[in-house]
């Protein structure tokens, strides 16, 4: 982790939160920290193991959950929340995780890391349709955790997570994910990330049906975990978009509702079978309604929601994202009304901004 200069983004300092000795290896964390809804503390994990598998080092393979806070000087400080053991034969790639008021959720979906090669990273990524999904719910207070097992699912970006009480007064943890509807059709002998190489996509070898069809059938799924009974269930939200064969990912919610009960989520969409046409999508998971935006030869990035100052409604604000215009090989910053996805402003950019995965809004204060 780096501290960076806020204008040039040059690295200023490197943080190593824990020093467990040269015989302990830390080698994986989530790409996205999860922000606590009240304190603003950040949560992540570090997968670590002793080279002796804990025999002398005392460090068994597993996920060490950490909370990142600031000290009086503004320097980041890491504190251990708890530890979740895991076999080296079942390391999952966890891209994002969830945090609620009292719990951090470590989702071990069915994207597995096999330590096969030190030079060809892609060969270490396995879509395993036989690996159950595990959701670990850890208490922020004392590090104790419960594990819930579900069928195999593939996803990388969490929508949101929150706590609620059911009609019996039992605490439930709710996590939403855009998942592939089915894992049927995957060719497990090839790496799906490798086919995103631009040279391959422009070559005669590229085929939508062969390469991308398994990625275009998406279902938003809700994982509900009852902490009192230890039981969990999966609820499928209805597919509210058209065409239904659409890659739906990069969810973004109003930050004021992150980690809390919510209804509205915004997505980036791709039509792999229509020359990678892109758009944005608004879903109301409570009212089961949707609104979409797309335009010919325009390619938006992940939509970023910015709440209106003083606004209280969940969709009271704007969406912003760079949009690449293939017709003129240039980019503009588009601003939409977050309620109906009508374009309300376009700001020209002096440079072409290629398509990127993620963005962030930082208020001036």
Q: What is the pLDDT of residues 261-296, one digit of tens each?
A: 999 999 999 886 666 689 999 999 999 999 999 998
Q: Give me the pLDDT at residue 1, please.
A: 56
Query: In this predicted structure, which of 76-80, 111-115, 286-290 has the lowest mean pLDDT?
Result: 111-115
- 84 confidence band (pLDDT: 50, 70, 90): very high
Q: Give me the pLDDT at residue 48, please.
A: 82
Query: In this predicted structure, which of 24-33, 51-60, 115-124, 350-359 has the lowest mean pLDDT?
Result: 51-60
Rounded Cα distance, 65 and 43, in Å: 7
List the Cα angle 32/34/37 in 5-degree steps: 150
Rounded Cα distance, 278 and 303, in Å: 12
**Position 6 pLDDT exceeds 80:** no
Rounded Cα distance, 83 and 85, in Å: 6
| Phi, psi (degrees; rounded to nearest 5) at 127 | -85, 105
Over residues 223-228, mean pLDDT: 98
Rounded Cα distance, 293 and 281, in Å: 6
**Position 333 pLDDT exceeds 70:** yes
**For the chain, percent of residues with pLDDT exceeding 90:** 51
Rounded Cα distance, 213 and 220, in Å: 18
**Position 27 pLDDT exceeds 70:** yes
pTM over 0.85: yes
Q: 122 in helix, strand or coil?
A: helix
| Phi, psi (degrees; rounded to nearest 5) at 258 | -70, 130
């Amino acid at each position: 982790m780096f501290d960076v200069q806020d204008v040039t983004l040059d690295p200023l300092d490197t943080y190593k939160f824990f020093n467990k000795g040269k015989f302990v290896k830390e080698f994986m964390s989530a790409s996205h920290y999860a922000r606590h809804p009240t304190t603003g503390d950040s949560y992540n994990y570090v997968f670590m193991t002793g080279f002796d598998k804990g025999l002398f080092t005392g460090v068994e393979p597993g996920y060490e959950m950490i909370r990142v806070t600031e000290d009086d000087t503004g320097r980041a400080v890491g504190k251990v929340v708890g530890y979740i053991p895991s076999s080296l034969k079942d390391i999952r790639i966890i891209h994002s995780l969830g945090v609620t008021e009292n719990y951090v959720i470590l989702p071990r979906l069915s994207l597995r890391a096999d330590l096969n090669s030190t030079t060809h990273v892609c060969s270490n990524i396995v879509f395993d349709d036989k690996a159950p999904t595990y959701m670990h719910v850890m208490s922020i207070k004392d590090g104790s955790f419960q594990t819930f097992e579900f069928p195999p699912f593939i996803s990388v970006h969490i929508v949101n997570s929150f706590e609620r009480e059911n009609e019996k007064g039992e605490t439930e943890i709710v996590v939403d994910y855009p998942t592939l509807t089915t894992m049927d059709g995957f060719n497990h002998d090839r790496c799906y990330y490798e086919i995103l190489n631009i040279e391959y996509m422009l070559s005669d070898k590229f085929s939508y049906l062969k390469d991308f069809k398994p990625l275009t059938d998406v279902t938003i799924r809700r994982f509900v975990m009852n902490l009192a009974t230890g039981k969990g269930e999966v609820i499928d939200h209805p597919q509210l978009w058209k065409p239904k064969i659409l890659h739906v990912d990069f969810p973004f919610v109003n930050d004021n509702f992150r980690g809390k009960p919510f209804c509205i989520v915004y997505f980036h969409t791709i039509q792999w079978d229509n020359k990678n046409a892109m758009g944005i999508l608004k879903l109301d998971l409570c009212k089961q309604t949707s609104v979409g935006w797309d335009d010919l030869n325009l390619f938006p990035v992940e939509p970023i929601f910015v709440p209106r100052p003083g606004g209280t409604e969940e969709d009271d604000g704007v969406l912003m994202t760079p949009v690449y215009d293939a017709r003129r090989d240039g980019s503009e910053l588009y601003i939409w009304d977050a309620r109906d996805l009508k374009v309300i402003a376009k700001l020209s950019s002096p440079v072409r901004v290629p398509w990127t995965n993620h963005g962030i809004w930082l208020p001036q204060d």
